[in-house]
Amino acid sequence: MAGKKKNQILPEGNVCKKNDILIMEITDMGAQGEGIGRVEGYTLFVKDAIPGDVARVCVMKTKKRFGYARLLEILTPSNDRVEPCCPVARQCGGCQLQHCSYQRQLLWKQEKVRNCLSRIGGFTEIPMEPIIGMDNPYHYRNKAQFPVGTDSSGRIIAGFYASRTHNIIEHTDCAIQHPCNRKILDTVLEFMRGYRISAYDEEKHTGLVRHILTRVGVVTGEVMVCLVINGESLPFSNVLAERLMKLSMQNTESGENVEFRIKSIVLNKNTDRTNVILGSKVTVLYGQEYIDDWIGDIRYRISPLSFFQVNPRQTKRLYETALEYADLHGGEIVWDLYCGIGTISLFLAQKAAKVFGVEIVPQAVEDAKRNAALNHFDNVEFFAGAAEEIVPQQYEMRIENRRADVVTLDPPRKGCDEKLLQTVVQMEPEKIVYISCNPATLARDLRYLCDRGYGLKRVRACDMFGQSYHVESVTLLQRKDI
């Protein structure tokens, strides 16, 4: 009915046209955090606006059923509107929701999960538990990569790429990055300016320093600085190492009482004409080639090239929830699919008889094995390969391991392959714990499983990326016949 009414009001999409200036109320929020409003039944998406705002906008692009407009001015702000703490929040595009109160962000994320489960998954009773929010939704990222370049006057700068371009906007004080970064960046830039070390020029493929990468162990306080260079070596590198070593970085902003120390200074060689940030060769300038950090009671070794969760505090909470949902008692066989560097596998191995992890990236499997050894686990085994191939093969081959008491799934945004879900159903685990970064594919996959003998028992969203539109969630499915 509603669709019919809309079509009547919509005269072939020409309610408005490009460059029209309109006043409109924002009534909804889209999947990427953009504001949505309607003008005579015609839908407009307005980036940087939130529900409750009345705004003056300029129409940028129209399509038959919807269009895009640019926010010009807020006439009446939404009650949820706050002043972004970062002066370049709009240009950057890294944070889509800084202008929205954190409470409202959390509510929106929770509802996004609920809506997907109901609209896409067709679930009517959704056992939602309250979203796990962050204590401090700023300065939470433990990994940063800043491009280095020059401004129009030739001065060396570092910052971020302006949305959809490779123009560097100077900014060394990112609101979601760890506060250590600022001192590190300022030190490297001052060194480069003083010793005339050139910055990389992407167009000409000349100049030396391409990116400055930092990784921070938020529990251990260990910090890594990695310079990505278009060359073999960095002149005067001992001077830079000495200056970085002298930095004292007591972090108070994110509530940590940890003294941060630089434990590792490395060079990464990338002489290719590419926008891939890292090359494959790493050399140590000072200290170790890695830093360590902890998530809960498990220690991880992080090298410049290895994957690690960017918000370890919330990761801990997310995985604790997964562990609670799995409700292990010590005798279980668990399959952890899409296991990455084994973060969830090792969490589960603390309470299970045996954990099998499956991951497609061989390097991540190597890291997973090393992390298992570092923490003295002998009840985990990892397979490198696509889950939809490995799991059916193992199911066919290894009679004794056909049994799975619990299966955990943590796929990338596109969700699980149907062949894998089919095998998981055949394995008949009592519980399936599904961790997801995309509620739409989560809803699709849960529907598949719930049509084949499982019931949706618990759902909880978790905010790993404050100020962004991303939302993680963990769900528990239980086999119905037990």
Which residues form the interface with ligand SAH (CB under 6 A)? Answer: 309, 338-341, 343-344, 358-361, 364, 386-388, 410-412
- In angstroms, rounded to a whole number, what is the distance separating the alpha carbons of residues 473 and 76? 34
Is the sign of the CA dihedral 164, 108, 417, 370 positive or negative? positive
CB of 228 to ligand SAH, least distance (A): 22
Name which of 116 and 339 has its Cβ closer to ligand SAH. 339
Q: How far is the CB of 308 from ligand SAH (least distance, A)?
A: 8
Say how far apart CA 126 and CA 98 lie, in whole Å.
Answer: 29
HEC per residue, the chain: CHHHHHHHHCCCCCCCCCCCEEEEEEEEECCCCCEEEEECCEEEEECCCCCCCEEEEEEEEECCCEEEEEEEEEEECCCCECCCCCCCHHHHCCCCCCCECHHHHHHHHHHHHHHHHHHCCCCCCCCEEEEECCCCCCCCECEEEEEEEECCCCCEEEEEECCCCCCEEECCCCCCECCHHHHHHHHHHHHHHHCCCCECECCCCECCEEEEEEEECCCCCEEEEEEEECCCCCCCHHHHHHHHHHCCEECCCCCCCCEEEEEEEEEEECCCCCCCCCCCEEEEEEECCCEEEEECCEEEEECCCCCCCCCHHHHHHHHHHHHHHHCCCCCCEEEEECCCCCHHHHHHHCCCCEEEEEECCHHHHHHHHHHHHHCCCCCEEEEECCHHHHHHHHHHHCHHHCCCCEEEECCCCCCCCHHHHHHHHHHCCCEEEEEECCHHHHHHHHHHHHCCCEEEEEEEEECCCCCCCCCEEEEEEEECCC
**Shortest reach from residue 278's CB to ligand SAH, in Å:** 16
Q: What span, in angstroms and rounded, lies between the C-alpha atoms of 351 and 328?
A: 6
Return the structure tokens found at 399.
Answer: 């009679």
In whole angstroms, the minimum distance from the beta carbon of 315 to ligand SAH comes to 7
Are the beta carbons of 131 and 110 closer than 8 angstroms?
A: yes
Nearer to ligand SAH, 93 or 392 (CB): 392
- Closest CB to ligand SAH among residues 360, 425: 360
Of 166 and 413, nearer to ligand SAH (C-beta) is 413
Q: Which residue is nearest to ligand SAH (CB)?
A: 340
> Is 174 in the active site?
no
Select 332 or 336, whichever has its Cβ closest to ligand SAH: 336
What is d(CA 398, CA 407) in angstroms, rounded to the nearest whole number? Answer: 16
- The active-site residue out of 100, 174, 416, 437 is 437
Residue 348 CB, shortest distance to ligand SAH, in Å, is 11
Closest CA to 342 of 281, 295, 285, 279: 295
327 vs 389, which CB is nearer to ligand SAH? 389
Active-site residue numbers?
Answer: 437
